[in-house]
Amino acid sequence: MKLEQELELLEGLLRRIRLTWLLRHFRARPVWAAFVCANGFVAIAILSLVAMLSRSPFVFPSLGPTAYVLFFTPRAPAASPKHAICGHLIGLICGWFALWVTGLLHVPSVVAEGVNLPRVFAAALALGATGGLMVLLNVGHPPAGATTLIVALGFITRIWSLLVIELAVAALVLHAILVNRLSGIDYPLWRPKPHPAPLPRPGP
């Protein structure tokens, strides 16, 4: 992200919480790093507490890169609520489908069983199908590739657990909506904002 964009996002947030003096005393990049760090910390801490209290998989590895995308590049299409929610949903479905096709739904994870040919096929099918469907449906969200592998490798296989994971994604997206809009960012409520068409260059 360009420094000008960082400054724009930072000034919007700091103005609302009356901390603009930070930019007068510190360079923009360290303050921006602290912003991303704090939001990632708060978002995952809340989800982890919910996971601890409910004893459910409300926090899982691919939420980390999703949080980074939502707070570091909030204007990118991949950071929109539609792309995050639909991307992870596709990953979950494709991962579960790959397990079902290969007969691995009730088999221990790859850590316990090791890598065999059915597991290789399940992982390859899950990731390939996830990438293809995200392109086809125009909902690209790279962290969903990690989600589908988590399922295809057998770490999370129960339908209920998959639903909980999707709820966790929705909760993280809601947090991003609140924080980014508080910052004054024109963050979408669902689909990404269309980029304006570039102006035509003047002729020679």
In eight-state DSSP terms, residue 192 is: P
First to last CA, the chain: 32
| Residue 9 in tokens | 């996002």
Half-sphere exposure of 84 (CA within 13 A, CB side): 34
d(CA 203, CA 176): 43
Q: What is the pLDDT of residue 90?
A: 98
b/e sequence 111-125, b meaning 16+ C-beta within 10 Å: eeeeeeebbeebbeb
Q: What is the pLDDT of residue 7?
A: 60
From first to last of its 204 residues, what are the pLDDT tens digits of the chain? 455 555 666 666 666 666 666 666 777 778 778 878 888 899 899 989 988 888 888 888 999 999 999 988 888 999 999 999 999 999 999 999 999 999 999 999 999 989 999 999 999 999 999 999 999 999 999 999 999 999 999 999 999 999 999 999 999 999 999 988 887 788 999 999 776 545 455 555
pTM of the complete model: 0.85
